[in-house]
């Protein structure tokens, strides 16, 4: 978020991820899974799925924060429910609750057939502009 996507969100370019949908409290992050995302057993590597889930949660929370306040993940849990091999993977983030300094998010990740492949939850900490590294 903020600034040019290439400069500030280099990971999205690296992974080929994009923000597919965004509305208050809900952001969808997608990738088109291919060989570059797979591990040795031929399925999409868990960290890749975690990355889009984390982003979807963090961005969903950011949509409900004040201007010039972002958040950073301080804790995350994910369950991988079925393997993904290729096709569009969609991480749908949502807000569970927002407290003064802590924010709670959840995300479901679906494959191209609409099957649930992972569920995640995270706790994030609010970071005001100037408090972090940027």
Partner 1 sequence: MSETKAAPSRAWAWLGIELVETADGSATVQMVATEDMANASGFVHGGMIGALADSAMGRSLRTVKPGVVRAMSFDLKVTFVNAAKIGETLRAKGEVVHAGRRTMVAHCRVEGRGGRLIATASGTFAVTREKES
How far, in Å, CA of 85 to CA of 3, rounded? 33
Strand residue runs (E) in 34-129:
69-80, 87-98, 102-110, 116-128
Convert residues 35-64 into a mask of x (bound to partner 1 by CB under 8 A) and - (unbound): ------------------------------
Closest CB 133 distance from partner 1, rounded Å:
27
Closest CB 9 distance from partner 1, rounded Å:
26
Per the CB < 8 A criterion, the answer to whether 95 and 103 are in contact is: yes
Residue 104 lies near partner 1 (rule: CB under 8 A): yes
Residue 81 lies near partner 1 (rule: CB under 8 A): yes
Q: Total number of residues binding partner 1 (CB under 8 A)?
A: 13
């Amino acid at each position: 978020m903020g600034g040019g996507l290439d400069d500030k969100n280099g990971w999205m370019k690296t992974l080929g991820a994009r923000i597919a949908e965004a509305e208050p409290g809900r952001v969808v992050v997608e990738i088109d899974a291919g060989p570059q995302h797979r591990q040795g057993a031929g399925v999409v590597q868990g960290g890749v799925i975690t990355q889009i889930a984390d982003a979807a949660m963090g961005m969903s929370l950011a949509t409900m924060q004040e201007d010039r306040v972002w958040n950073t993940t301080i804790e995350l849990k994910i369950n991988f429910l079925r393997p993904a091999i290729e096709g569009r993977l969609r991480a749908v983030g949502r807000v569970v609750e927002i407290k003064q300094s802590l924010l709670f998010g959840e995300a479901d990740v679906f494959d191209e057939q609409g099957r649930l492949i992972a569920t995640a939850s995270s706790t994030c900490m609010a970071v005001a502009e100037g408090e972090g590294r940027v």
